[in-house]
A and B are shown apart, each in its own frame.
Chain A
């Protein structure tokens, strides 16, 4: 028993010593699903967060201090996210949380930890419609990615506009894909399309040949909602191999260079995926693309521009709040992100800092869209459709 007490208290003390040794900085917490089911999607998002912090520190930092992003692992898992955010808020004393990746983990950490503690959560990618209605008047949860309620509609419109009247739907049975598939199917049928078959599939299986074959009755178009890494690529490959489908429609989870590299551009002539980002007709996206490409970060991967935008807006909000005070950040976040004000593009930290210092209004416009928060802390988002052109995804703005 004595030995154990020593180990117990020893490890506790060590944990606290190590954590407490950091100097006074402007710290924000970044709970990302570094491990868990989608590490491949998260890795470039992490890189984008770090890139934003780097740009901010190169141009003077926040409140005259260095802007430190403290990372923790939320593993896409409510219990890991709650534990990670508890540590960020209490031990690291961060000013705000740059959100866990998955919607379930985001809601859990918000309801369990960050809302009771009065800390702002700015999610980089949680897209579940449930987040809109969860916080009941506390105004502490924001997100830099549009709700599926918007993207599902945009995708249904796009599908009908491209002349696909009948479609089969297959979605991975997880929080993100199930949600967007429901919205898509409902809107698509309301607007005159016909869903010939709709089935969930269990992610992470080695083969989906029988599923796609059973779904393919009467149409060659498949609306596929999946993460590319856990089942998306396998389903597309199985469908193409067996000739069950040749036309694919889908959302963010499928959008990665990995898909082209693995399946081959020649097989993806009829694949269209939407994502909540702009295209290179906007100045903001051009600015983001230049910065991302200079740093080797994949600019068009899902939620990567959103991650950069969130990190940048959080820094602007802290600068605007004028002090390291958690309670002022929510209001400041809305002010710096929403119109009116002088437009700030990705990377323009020195300009933003100067204008905020002069007390002028600013309005951040990011690579993922205008990033204006509504009363629920949601962004409308703009969506682009992505098709393969010359071996790369090429984005065009829709609507």
Chain B
């Protein structure tokens, strides 16, 4: 960020001959960045506070007078390569993906999927692989020193940062696009964040502790299963219904469409008592079908996908019919592929909503062993205040999958969320 600010300032000064107006512009730019930084701090403040609480043992934290930094963090005696093959693989994959993403952001190209060949230059591959290797190797001594509390941590930390920064500079530097000093500053900023994040999230004991103590893994798997089933069901039923409403002719079309949309006026909160009674009657308490089936169709989905289908030109439809193809061909070869963006957006918001569900699982799950992730977080809250750090750590860990999704599918998520707002 600072490098970009400098860049902007330098550009402004060079571009503008008149000192006074350029000075005013510099002040303006600095003011804008300052406002953005203040707002960022405000938005992230609760996250920082929770991070401090997660890392500090509660009693020690209270004794220290609740400072705005973690106290007496418990560090593991480990290297990057200890802790089981799966977890090593996972965290290495995460770091690898993070560096790959950063190099993509640093490149002038759009996405790895579409521009893999342009992005994957030798320099960037060296930065991605080299960055991962350097980080994994140099973090070992940092962990060792943190665990031993031998006072050498700061030095080793900066060594790791410097090592990673060198690799990233190689990737960021691009003649004509980014000069060496700017590349170095960008690489330094990236490395500090990468090393610090890896140190905190791999080195501290509280994360594995919260993972192990609260059945977070099982709950996450259950939530994942539920979300996938709900999303697939909603997308399939919505596509079929939307297709019928747009391309098929049948009696009572308007009434049926109105009846489908009217379910928007019957949110779960309204039908809750009746639905719980129904689930109880069916013996579906604590069951996956009880979690999924009530959400297997979505009026919002039918509406959005119908809008998309209506945009398909009549000519295409006629051409397909003249060629002798039936509705199934038209649906699978034309209607769905032509509306991939709408369907993708709906898929993403549907998955997000399913993952975040709270009231319904809370109502029909009665044993902790059947908890979804969101209600497992609630069951974790214990009366014992000395466990507070483990509880909040679990909450943070549980947000990781969505955070990853958010980065990976940012465009689709934002398009989905704003689907009703902007044409």
Co-complex (A, B): no
> Which residues of B pack against A, CB within 8 Å?
none
